[in-house]
Structure 1
Amino acid sequence: MPDAAPAAGSAPAPGTVYFDSVGVHQARDVLNRFFHPVSVGGPECGEARMAVEVIQLGPLTVGHLTFGGRVTLAAPRADAYHLTLPTAGRVLARRNGREVTAGPSTALTFRPGDPVHLRPQAPSAEIDVRIERWALENELAALLGHPVEGTIDLPPVVDLSGGPAHSWSRLIRLLHDELEHETSLIHQPMIAEHLCSSVLSGLLLSVPHRYHDELVTPAAAGPPRAIRRVLDAIHAEPDRPFTVAGLARVAGMSVRSLQEGFRRHLGCTPMAFLQQTRLDRAHETLRHADPAVVTVAAVAHRWGFAHLGRFASAYRARFGVSPSETLRRAA
């Protein structure tokens, strides 16, 4: 059984760690902190240098490791779902008793309980993704609308050269690219939560496993009464950091049934409806605000918009004027 999930809203704010060039012993300490208890060894490990960048988005950890010497990374067993995506050079791995070579178009996966054995071939670089077991299995259960039994049987090797898996790998690389930007939106907890959910659901939709066929089969639409519960929750607290999985829990149905119910009954997605409601609340707030003491930024953040440019664009598309124009007219 997976570990119990933290309570809603308990995920820590996104955090990053950077090490430009460290010895393997320091690198081991970082890897032990953010990934798994791992040993670092090899004939050249004394001279090897590594660069490490890591970001944590709640139950999702994404790290970029660069190797300047040949090392071996080994753990007796993974304690979470782990994926390695080489970005340069090759990584040799031992999976299910056989040697596997991975390059930039391949991902290696390890499930909780699997032994981890990686030999990056210097010079090389890789993105390593850790997903807490409870998070991935709860995400799958939310999508399906029923509990899942046992560990998700991710394939040992995933082809990233095309299809949904290639799209998912681009999302991971986007997170990697944002690591160096201190003002990136990924540091906003609300954005981080949605990105984390997208990574988890995207992985589940991209790779084969025993629930995949069920996951991609069209779902029945949720009943109007359940959809009404979601509408009431959104109207009551539109500023709450809802996710589609959270709204599905309110409705008591799967994410897919919720989305199909919204499409059939309202002609939009749950998150689109949430944004429309937030825009309406922001519009009313700006219409009655005192521009001498209230700013557009404060109103945007009050109603759950983390990116002012996107808020202004969506606001103009809905109301035909900019937020600042509405605020000026309130004077």
Structure 2
Amino acid sequence: MRDAVPGAGPTPAPGTVYFDSVGVREAHDVVNRFYHPMSLGVPDSGDAKVGVEVIQLGPLTVGHLTFAGRVTLVAREMDAYHVTLPVTGQVLARRNGREVIAGPATAVAFRPGDPVYLRPEGPSAEIDVRIERWALESELTALLGHPIDGPIDLPPAFDLTNGPAHSWSRLIRLLHDELEHETSLVFQPLIGEHLCNSVLSGLLLSVPHRYHEELVAPATAGPPRAIRRVLDAINEEPDRAFTVADLAGIAGTSVRSLQEGFRRHLGCTPMAYLQQTRLARAHETLRGANPAGLTVAAVANRWGFAHLGRFASAYRARFGVSPSETLRRSA
């Protein structure tokens, strides 16, 4: 998508929307469009202003909201998972009767079915993360290797000052920081998908819930037969946009068991093996190509490499020459 209000800053990059210092009515429209059916109110007299920047990566929405003046955000029932990370100032959150006053050291979370009450104390800024219910629950199912009984019981609030949750919050801020860069790698579908999966799995590993202990326990290695199925799938279609969850599904194991099986039997991760297979196919293609009729970029794209510079770097590390040198020598 490409949306903006006139005169509202830089031209937005694909997958982003910018709204700069708009009134409550306009902010209500964008929050309802990208987040949840929600009402925005202004308890104090005077005009409140809201700034909004949003990036969407499939089932993941990350937005940066700024508030000048007090605004309340109320939803009767949440239809997805939602995490608010205050950046400056404070926000009063209420979930099922429990009140939390959160600042930059604390995140607040809501689950599908939860009523929502948020009152940012302006001037303030926050990052709001929406994750579609099916996506987070499917990610947990893939990681565990068995169905779950949802919704996932995310805590009402969690500490962002240390541990995995601190790392997760930095990943969220990275996505926000990439908003203004139209050529950012996050807009490459392959990179964006991996980042989205990292945000989902990172949240599941960072906060307490009833599956957390099972999730962080040492994984059992997948059996050789399961690993062989994955190897066959990769070798048959190395250009296919596999995710690690896709490969775990082929193996019939959890993601963690697949990763442990690859580590034990092959000494690498499934995605590293996939990259090496793609590099080998690209090498074969370049060696047998006619330089007049084929480009390095076309070969990189053919074998699933979204970023030409990263492809060239990985290729040189593997074969000791650049892709263009291999192509020239094939003449």
State the TM-score, normalized to the length of structure 2: 0.94
Gaps of 5+ in 2: 1-13
SS of equivalent to 1:278: helix
Counterpart position of 1:188: 188
Separation in 2, partners of 1:38, 1:296: 49
Counterpart position of 2:235: 235
Separation in 1, partners of 2:221, 2:175: 33
Counterpart position of 1:53: 53
User: Which runs of structure 2 are paired with 1:151-300 in the superposition (5 Å)?
Assistant: 151-300=151-300
Calculate the aligned-residue CA RMSD, in Å: 1.1
Separation in 1, partners of 2:246, 2:320: 32
Separation in 1, partners of 2:93, 2:104: 14
Give 1:330 deviation, angstroms. Answer: 1.2
Separation in 1, partners of 2:279, 2:115: 49
Counterpart position of 1:314: 314
Matched, 1:134 2:134: yes
Give 1:96 deviation, angstroms. Answer: 3.2
The percent identity for this pair of structures is 81
1:197-253 Cα deviation digits (max 9, x unpaired): 111001101111110000011111111111111001101111111110010001111
Give 1:309 deviation, angstroms. Answer: 1.5
State the TM-score, normalized to the length of structure 1: 0.94
Gaps of 5+ in 1: 1-13
Separation in 2, partners of 1:311, 1:276: 11
Counterpart position of 2:106: 106
1:13-66 Cα deviation digits (max 9, x unpaired): x72111112111011110001110010002347511111111111111111111
Amino acid at match of 2:178: E
In the alignment of these two chains, the number of paired residues is: 318
Amino acid at match of 2:266: L
SS of equivalent to 2:128: strand
8 Å Cα contact 1:68-1:123 kept in structure 2 = yes
Counterpart position of 1:43: 43
8 Å Cα contact 2:64-2:126 kept in structure 1 = yes
8 Å Cα contact 2:63-2:128 kept in structure 1 = yes
Separation in 1, partners of 2:46, 2:31: 17
Separation in 1, partners of 2:306, 2:207: 31
8 Å Cα contact 1:24-1:45 kept in structure 2 = no
SS of equivalent to 1:121: strand
Amino acid at match of 1:99: E
Separation in 2, partners of 1:143, 1:120: 35
SS of equivalent to 1:179: helix
8 Å Cα contact 2:42-2:48 kept in structure 1 = no
SS of equivalent to 1:299: helix
1:150-182 Cα deviation digits (max 9, x unpaired): 211111101000000000111100100011111
Separation in 2, partners of 1:319, 1:218: 35
Give 1:184 deviation, angstroms. Answer: 0.9
Separation in 2, partners of 1:115, 1:98: 11
Separation in 1, partners of 2:100, 2:278: 49
Counterpart position of 2:70: 70
Structure 1 segments (4+ residues) deviating >4 Å: none
Separation in 1, partners of 2:298, 2:284: 14
8 Å Cα contact 1:45-1:69 kept in structure 2 = no
Separation in 1, partners of 2:70, 2:323: 56
- The 1:45–1:108 alpha-carbon spacing in structure 2 relative to 1, beyond 3 Å, is farther
Separation in 1, partners of 2:253, 2:54: 35
